[in-house]
Structure 1
């Protein structure tokens, strides 16, 4: 899959990051999204927007210590992974990582490089970098599912 359909979005602040996440949730039927960015870039904030946009009411906890927070919502499952504290990718096998990756699930993975070799390939790579006072989000589809998500997102932005 070529990455020629990549798209970049400027995010001015935390509220805009949550709103962008909500739009992303409305655009995704499922898939594996790798969230890349340094500490403090807004990955967890973006995940909060996605999870709330998918229908979760209430707080969204960072799974820094639990590795995964499951959200079983009406019509879909969303799994938020934070692999920052993962010591070895093999640890993922011990808690049944493969059970989370089914067709209808939306799997949001922060620090995916820590699970390299065990995680399935991403449908969408999402890179967050500093851009002036805000952030730039670069979306790089890796599969047909990732490309469809980007098409859907573009339609919601119009």
Structure 2
């Protein structure tokens, strides 16, 4: 499989199903970068992914819009860190957020363009975009061609 994989998500439930398919592929040290405009579904995808990783559909997953980062201890010893860098002025502020330490676990980053030179080259990029219908979204995955084969179905 070469090139990006695009998946049409008809609604929030479809976003949750896609996140559940991605969850078993994630490992410590991975970076998942969520790109897209405001309201395109980045936070919804991150929330669904964290719930799938935790095995808990009711897991409280607050948006890190104001705290900038939320951390989670997940089953199997996986530590996940959900960053929302929208309000970050640039990569120099990452040290205060514990970026280097967080990279030992899974990092899920909204607004990754704020990472600058700290952007992990080996990251999986998920570009969220509006679809044709009101609730429809398009998720386009770039990176990890060997690990994402099952999403391309």
TM-score w.r.t. the length of structure 1 is 0.84
For residues 25-69 of structure 1, give each alpha carbon's deviation from its aligned partner in whole angstroms, at most 9, with x where no partner exists. 122234111110100001010011110110153211111111111
Alpha-carbon offset, residue 116 of structure 1 = 1.1
Please give the alpha-carbon distance, in whole angstroms, between the structure 2 residues aligned to 1:68 and 1:24: 21
Q: In the alignment, what sits opposite 2:14?
A: 16
Q: In the alignment, what sits opposite 2:100?
A: 98
Please give the alpha-carbon distance, in whole angstroms, between the structure 2 residues aligned to 1:153 and 1:7: 8
Q: 1:87 pairs with 71, 86, 89, which one? A: 89
Q: In the alignment, what sits opposite 1:29?
A: 27
Structure 1 residues not aligned, in runs of 5+: none
Deviation >4 Å, runs of 4+: none
Alpha-carbon offset, residue 152 of structure 1 = 4.5
Please give the alpha-carbon distance, in whole angstroms, between the structure 1 residues aligned to 2:97 and 2:137: 34
Please give the alpha-carbon distance, in whole angstroms, between the structure 2 residues aligned to 1:59 and 1:148: 32
Q: In the alignment, what sits opposite 2:42?
A: 43
TM-score w.r.t. the length of structure 2 is 0.87
Please give the alpha-carbon distance, in whole angstroms, between the structure 2 residues aligned to 1:29 and 1:151: 16
